[in-house]
Amino acid sequence: MDSSDHIKIAIMKELQDAIKIKKNNDELQQYLISSIQWIIRYAERNNFRIPDKDKMIEMLDKITQIKSQYPK
């Protein structure tokens, strides 16, 4: 095994780690989106006032925008 093989192995390991991190990030984004949407719907259904509701909606928009920039 020469040095180029070691480099290829290291690159593959890094790629696998990056894929795992992206999958985790995607899952966390989806949980965050779902949770914020649920809170907003729950509050609207039960006539609760949410402080900074507009900021929560803005956060959803930003998450969606970021999510759309990267391939699945």
Mean pLDDT to the nearest integer, 28-37: 91
Domain contains 63: yes
Question: Which residue, 14, 38, 29, 24, is CA-closest to 69?
Answer: 29
Return the pLDDT at 72: 67
Domains of the chain: total: 1
Q: Does residue 8 surpass a pLDDT of 80?
A: yes
Mean pLDDT to the nearest integer, 57-71: 86
Q: Does residue 46 surpass a pLDDT of 90?
A: yes
Q: Which two tokens stand for residue 44?
A: 């609207």
Domain contains 2: no
Return the pLDDT at 24: 93
Q: Does residue 67 surpass a pLDDT of 70?
A: yes
Taking the model in full, what pTM does it have?
0.73
pLDDT range class, residue 54, cuts 50, 70, 90: very high
In the chain, the amino acid numbered 49 is R
Domain contains 50: yes
- Domain residues for the domain of 55 are 22-72
